[in-house]
């Protein structure tokens, strides 16, 4: 090869790049399969019910009770999850200690454990002396507090993950500056870090809420499926299906879809308005 | 006065041992060295953000080796400014005084004084996301000076600025540090910056600090 054959003009003239269209088309085709399946699933649900049977299902006192209990228990679960997820997320993000990897793995256990196993484990826990002692004061097993506990066991793990990621994304440099300005660690946390986590807290709270809404396995094992007592929306779907009342099961399912979409929209709307506000100031 | 006496610090995977330097009261010291040689770690140790494993740190004559960062009376400006993203510029300037529970009139007077000194009166009600690099460094400097610290630590404060802003902020640093008579330690890798600003230049090389001039 001679030096002249390496001249820039010759090299660029010889190099031809293939069209990007096939690549983008492949991406779109593969992505659309999943998206179409989601839409088809929801449309199938809609086609299976009529407005009349939907409203009839909503008039049933059992289903009304289940909706009310779901809304209350999910909101309690979301608040309790945040109460725990914020301190754990901050600790895991900012501090190094011996055994941190083990603690980190342990916090993921509720995410990877089969839901039924969580329910069974809770049931066994409340058969021990410590569990019976707690039940002496407040009934948990096969009662409403048990529903919240079963939902919280799983939902909190997701909230912890979200809060940890949120704190990881905030540079610890700002807290360090705050310390040199005269702050204690707690002042730096409350005044500098926490105000920046509003979006993360909203995301963690809604994720915990949505996760709790769909929780079924642990509730069935730990709290049972007694109508007008420990019946939440997924329990209603299960009970209606088991007696062959598919219209009512689909109606409750659609309500859960609407709640999930509403939560998703809420996160998107809040997620988009905050950075805009920051730029407008 | 800043004095490090035979200090040992841990910088990432290596340790710096036997570090000593002294900057007399009201002087401007510049510590130079290559990237990742431990300059920032020395500054963080001085500010109380990292522990000194051995030796003594004296600040204005008192032993500050084991004092918390909040008790050392040091104003700290990190390289990226690290402004508080949810606060206005006004609150940045007031923050250290609010933490000390100073009276409102004192805070307002100090904010006005600093805003004039640093030329940031027009941006007092803005938040960090909309500020230019030069404005951010001015705010970071004002925030560090607001509680009238005796000592100022600057970690490559001109590193992220374009050439024009660099010269402007460099002049500002020179003027402000003289006017408020604060003892300054400025960390950089730029010789030209050191020549423009320093009364005393130190170089860190192979884990030891040598005094170059001043």
Is residue B42 within 8 A of residue B16, CB to CB? The reply is yes
Q: CB B130 to CB A279 under 8 A?
A: yes
For A180, counting Cβ atoms within 10 Å of its Cβ (0-12 exposed, 13-18 middle, 19+ buried), the class is buried
Q: CB A278 to CB B78 under 8 A?
A: no
pLDDT digits (tens, 9 = 90+) for A60-75: 899 999 999 999 999 9
Is residue B28 within 8 A of residue B184, CB to CB? The reply is yes
Label residue A6 by pLDDT band (50, 70, 90).
low
Q: Is the pLDDT of residue A231 over 60?
A: yes
Give pLDDT, residue A275. Answer: 40
Strand partners, B54: B8
Task: Supply the mean pLDDT for chain B.
Answer: 90
* Minimal CA separation from B12 to chain A, in Å: 14
Is residue B209 within 8 A of residue B21, CB to CB? The reply is yes
Is residue B102 within 8 A of residue B89, CB to CB? The reply is no
First to last CA, chain B: 15
Label residue A281 by pLDDT band (50, 70, 90).
very low
pLDDT digits (tens, 9 = 90+) for A160-176: 999 999 999 999 999 99
Is residue A218 within 8 A of residue A150, CB to CB? The reply is yes
Per the structure, the complete domain to which residue B176 belongs is given by 2-65+72-83+132-213
Residue B170 lies in a domain: yes
Residue B201 sits at the chain A interface (C-beta within 8 Å): no
How many domains does the structure of chain B reveal? 1
Best CATH choice for the domain A55-271 from the list 3.10.129.10, 3.40.50.300, 1.10.3720.10, 3.30.470.20: 1.10.3720.10
Task: Supply the mean pLDDT for chain A.
Answer: 88
Residue B118 lies in a domain: no
The CB density around residue A199, as the number of other CB atoms within 10 Å, is 17
Q: Kindly identify which residue of chain B lies nearest to residue A196, measuring between CA atoms.
A: B86
Residue B183 lies in a domain: yes
CATH of residue B142's domain is 3.40.50.300
Q: Kindly identify which residue of chain A lies nearest to residue B126, measuring between CA atoms.
A: A281
DSSP letter, residue B3: E
Measured between beta carbons, the chain A residues lying within 8 angstroms of B72 are 180
pLDDT digits (tens, 9 = 90+) for B109-147: 999 999 999 999 999 999 999 899 889 999 999 999 999
Mean pLDDT, to the nearest integer, of B31-54?
A: 89
Mutate to test the interface with A, among B85, B87, B148 (most CBs of A within 10 A): B85
Q: CB B49 to CB A179 under 8 A?
A: yes
Listed by start position, the domains of chain A span: 55-271
Residues above pLDDT 90, as percent of chain B:
57
Give pLDDT, residue A11. Answer: 57
Label residue A12 by pLDDT band (50, 70, 90).
low
pLDDT digits (tens, 9 = 90+) for B176-204: 888 888 999 999 988 888 888 998 999 98
CA angle A169, A164, A181 (to 5 degrees): 60
Residue B34 lies in a domain: yes
Residue A252 sits at the chain B interface (C-beta within 8 Å): no
First to last CA, chain A: 62
Residue B108 lies in a domain: no
Label residue A105 by pLDDT band (50, 70, 90).
very high
Give pLDDT, residue B164. Answer: 80
Residue B72 sits at the chain A interface (C-beta within 8 Å): yes
Question: CA–CA separation, A209 vs A260, rounded Å?
Answer: 9
Q: CB B78 to CB A173 under 8 A?
A: yes
Residue B112 lies in a domain: no
Mutate to test the interface with B, among A173, A174, A182, A193 (most CBs of B within 10 A): A182
CA A129 vs CA A119, A124, A126, A139, A140: distances in Å: 18, 11, 8, 14, 14
Mutate to test the interface with A, among B128, B129, B147, B156 (most CBs of A within 10 A): B129
Residue A278 sits at the chain B interface (C-beta within 8 Å): yes
Pairing type for strands B183-188 and B28-32 reads: parallel
- Nearest CB to A177; choose among B72, B76, B125: B76
Give pLDDT, residue B27. Answer: 92
Residue A277 sits at the chain B interface (C-beta within 8 Å): no
């Amino acid at each position: 090869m001679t030096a002249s054959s390496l001249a820039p003009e010759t090299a660029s003239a010889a190099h031809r790049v293939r069209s990007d269209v096939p690549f983008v088309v492949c991406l779109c085709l593969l992505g659309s399969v999943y998206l179409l399946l989601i839409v088809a699933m929801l449309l199938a649900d809609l086609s299976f019910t009529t407005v009349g049977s939907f409203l009839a299902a909503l008039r049933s006192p059992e289903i009304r009770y289940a909706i009310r209990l779901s809304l209350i228990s999910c909101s309690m679960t979301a608040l309790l999850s945040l109460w725990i997820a914020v301190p754990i997320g901050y600790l895991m993000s900012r501090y190094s200690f011996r055994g941190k990897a083990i603690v980190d793995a342990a916090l993921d256990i509720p995410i990877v454990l089969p839901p039924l196993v969580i329910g069974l484990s809770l049931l066994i826990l409340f058969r021990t002396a410590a569990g019976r002692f707690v039940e002496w004061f407040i009934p948990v097993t096969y009662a409403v507090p048990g529903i919240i506990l079963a939902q919280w066991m799983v939902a909190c793990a997701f909230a912890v993950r979200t809060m940890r990621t949120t704190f990881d994304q905030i540079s610890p440099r700002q807290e360090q500056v705050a310390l040199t300005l005269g702050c204690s660690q707690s002042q730096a946390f409350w005044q500098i870090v926490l105000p920046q986590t509003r979006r993360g807290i909203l995301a963690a709270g809604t994720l915990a809420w949505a996760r709790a809404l769909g929780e079924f396995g642990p509730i069935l094992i730990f709290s049972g499926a007694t109508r007008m007592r420990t019946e939440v929306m997924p329990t209603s779907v299960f009970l209606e299906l088991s007696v062959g009342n598919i219209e009512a099961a689909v109606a409750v399912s659609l309500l859960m879809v609407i709640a999930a979409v509403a939560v998703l929209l809420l996160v998107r709307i809040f997620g988009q308005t905050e950075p805009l506000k920051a730029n407008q100031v | 006065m800043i004095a490090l006496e035979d200090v040992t610090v841990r910088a990432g995977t290596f340790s710096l041992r036997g570090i000593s330097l002294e900057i007399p009261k009201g002087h401007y010291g510049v510590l130079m060295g290559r990237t990742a040689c431990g300059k920032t770690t020395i500054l963080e140790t001085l500010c109380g953000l990292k522990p000194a494993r051995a030796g003594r740190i004296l600040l204005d004559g008192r032993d500050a080796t084991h004092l918390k960062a909040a008790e050392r009376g040091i104003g700290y400006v990190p390289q990226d400014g690290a402004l508080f993203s949810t606060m206005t510029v006004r609150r940045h300037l007031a923050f250290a005084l609010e933490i000390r529970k100073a009276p409102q009139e004192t805070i307002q007077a100090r904010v006005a004084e600093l805003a004039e000194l640093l030329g940031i009166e027009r941006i007092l009600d803005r938040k960090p996301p909309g500020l230019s690099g030069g404005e951010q460094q001015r705010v970071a400097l004002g925030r560090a000076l607001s509680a009238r610290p005796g000592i100022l630590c600057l970690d490559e404060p001109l590193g992220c600025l374009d050439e024009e802003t660099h010269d402007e902020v460099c002049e500002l640093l020179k003027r402000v540090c003289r006017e408020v008579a604060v003892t300054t330690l400025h960390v950089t890798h730029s010789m030209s910056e050191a020549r423009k600003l320093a009364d005393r230049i130190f170089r860190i090389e192979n884990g030891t600090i040598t005094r170059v001039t001043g």
